[in-house]
């Protein structure tokens, strides 16, 4: 498995998206920013995740369903004096370790019988 495939948590560009969403929310004021703008104009399909991350940092953001709008509108209600750090993604422990409280025993090579046993010679 490549390093990229095993990466967990927000992608590297998430911080830039959060900063831009926050800027848009500040500029929009009570009018808010439609999720449709974030998805279709900015091409940020994970916009709701970025809004959630802002909320985890202490920003109060109202999610409004407005008449005639298909997508939710985000409105910045208040900002923290100092944004909280985002929680870090901890690697999940193995189910065996969680269940038994012990490390998984070392694995042994399966016995496939004499047909598959290497003799070291060329046949």
Distance between CA atoms of residues 114 and 112, nearest Å: 7
List the domain range (segments joined by +) for residue 71: 11-78
Q: What is the pTM of this model?
A: 0.63
> What is the full per-residue pLDDT of the chain (123 aa) written as tens digits?
334 443 456 677 788 899 999 999 999 999 999 999 999 999 998 999 999 999 999 999 999 999 988 999 999 999 999 989 887 766 667 778 888 888 887 777 777 777 776 666 555
Residue 24 inside a domain? The answer is yes
> CA 5, 10, 16: angle at the middle one, nearest 5?
125
Residue 5 lies in a domain: no
1 within domain boundaries = no
User: What's the domain count of the chain?
Assistant: 1
The verdict on residue 86 lying in a domain is no
**Residue 85: inside a domain:** no
Q: Is residue 36 part of a domain?
A: yes
Q: What is the dihedral of CA 41, 42, 48, 53, to 10 degrees?
A: -160
- Sort 46 into a burial class: Cβ within 10 Å, 0-12 / 13-18 / 19+: middle
Distance CA 34, CA 99 (A): 44
CATH of the domain at 48: 1.10.10
């Amino acid at each position: 498995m490549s390093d990229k495939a095993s990466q967990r948590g927000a992608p590297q560009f998430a911080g830039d998206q959060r900063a831009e969403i926050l800027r848009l929310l500040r500029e929009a004021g009570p009018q808010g920013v439609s999720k449709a703008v974030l998805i279709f104009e900015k091409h940020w399909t994970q916009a709701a995740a970025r809004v959630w991350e802002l909320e985890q940092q202490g920003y109060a953001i109202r999610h409004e369903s407005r008449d005639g709008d298909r997508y939710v509108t985000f409105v910045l209600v208040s900002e923290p004096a100092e944004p909280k750090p985002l929680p870090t993604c901890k690697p999940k422990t193995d189910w065996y370790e969680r269940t038994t409280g012990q490390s998984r025993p070392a694995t042994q090579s399966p016995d496939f019988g004499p047909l598959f046993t290497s003799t070291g010679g060329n046949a």
